Amino acid sequence: MAEGVQFSRYLGKRAASMAEYAPDPLEVVAAHLGMLVGQLIKLDANENPFGPSRRALQAIIGYNAWQEYPDPISRQLRSAIGSYLRVDAARVMVGNGSDELIDQIVTLFRPEAGVGGIREVLSFPPTFGMYKHYTAVNDMQLVEIPRDSAFQLDMAAIERLCSDGQPRLCFVASPNNPDGQLLPKSTLTRLLELPLLVVLDEAYVEFSERSAVALTKSYDNLIVLRTFSKWAGLAGLRVGYGVFPPDLMSALERIKSPYNVNGLAQAAALATLEDLPGAMATVQRIIAEREKARERLETLPFLRLYPSQANYLFCKVVGIPMPTLRKAMEARGIILRYYPDSALDDCVRITIGTPSQNDAVWVTLRELANQEVR
């Protein structure tokens, strides 16, 4: 070991200044609440409570190629995704979660030594935090244009910014996280008419009424990202993918990590697409539970719900302190997504769980409402 050299002093500026993303594991949460892990109802991460399809589970259990490197470019899976989306498989890139693809997209356009590339990345908060994260990782300039109180984009501000004709990257989620609303078709069309490379993140789109993936055939400035984490119940295996303009594919293939999607993940995702009726039956169960939960929660006087088309409900809490609601939930072991120290500190996001989990949320909130009335 080299003596007298403290290498942490030489960290790059980006790494030294960035915040860590490390949610507490369930064991830590349970210990904090004085409970066992099995007593918790985890509804804070938009996970699929029913897990993978039967075919995917069979593929996972039967996987036996542990000693072999996987297909480095996921050929079979890309072909199956192409069939699923009705797009050319040659335009599909698979990643270790869609997070990897977000990173690759930003990396692809990062200026080198101040030369070339794209200077600015647009994002529209409140939204998924990884757009901001990977922009910072790649030392690019983030321009945030906040959404309005209904979580709609401020198109007038976006169009003013883009009037200089400079090309920019633009990340927009549909349905958006945290509110769960789809991007209106007219808004997407207006974005695509600007000098923007629009990255449309459809992580939750299987729970919604429409996708914009067909537009990738008409617009060469549109990328659509998707994932198997939510609808397919494969969050632990990290499989994301995107549909890209043809002229970007070769560059993406050059910069991606080799063997970036492991063999088990490829097998499970492929099996999911080979049994779409089974996987989609689970999606329909979640949608049915979401609508049931919505009808119940709309009767509570202290909640204002947004019209979600994802696998969660987003609520503004009025009339009672958020710590009161959180304390009541955590006393029952119910873990929801809160937003302290932010503009959303009076809001909560509730992942749709199993029927019994959703019942527990409803009972606790109803009791809280009754206490407030008394």
Identify the sign of the CA torsion 291, 322, 359, 29: positive
Which CATH number fits the domain that encloses residue 348?
Answer: 3.90.1150.10
DSSP 353: -
Domain count, the chain: 2
- Please count the other Cβ atoms lying within 10 Å of the Cβ belonging to residue 329: 22
Query: What integer best gives the mean pLDDT of the chain?
Result: 95
DSSP 115: B
Which domain covers residue 21, as residue numbers? 13-51+278-373
pTM of the model: 0.94
Which CATH number fits the domain that encloses residue 94?
Answer: 3.40.640.10
Q: Would you say residue 154 lies in a domain?
A: yes
Same domain, 317 and 259: no
Same domain, 26 and 105: no
Q: Would you say residue 4 lies in a domain?
A: no
| Preceding amide of 323 cis, omega within 30 | no
Q: Would you say residue 1 lies in a domain?
A: no
What is the structure's pLDDT at 370? 85
The DSSP secondary structure of 265-306, one letter per residue, reads: HHHHHHHHHHTHHHHHHHHHHHHHHHHHHHHHHTTSTTEEE-
What is the token pair recorded at 291?
């609508």
Tens digit of each residue's pLDDT (9 = 90 or more) over 270-299: 999 999 999 999 999 999 999 999 999 999
Tens digit of each residue's pLDDT (9 = 90 or more) over 107-137: 999 988 667 789 999 999 999 999 999 999 9
Tens digit of each residue's pLDDT (9 = 90 or more) over 336-374: 999 998 999 999 999 999 999 999 999 999 999 888 644
Q: Would you say residue 240 lies in a domain?
A: yes
Q: Provide the CA 369 distance to its chain's centre, in angstroms.
A: 31
Same domain, 115 and 244: yes
SS3 string, 145-185, reads CCCCCCCCCCHHHHHHHHCCCCCEEEEEECCCCCCCCCCCH
Calpha distance 370→306 (Å, rounded): 23
Tens digit of each residue's pLDDT (9 = 90 or more) over 51-91: 999 999 999 999 999 999 999 999 999 999 999 999 999 99
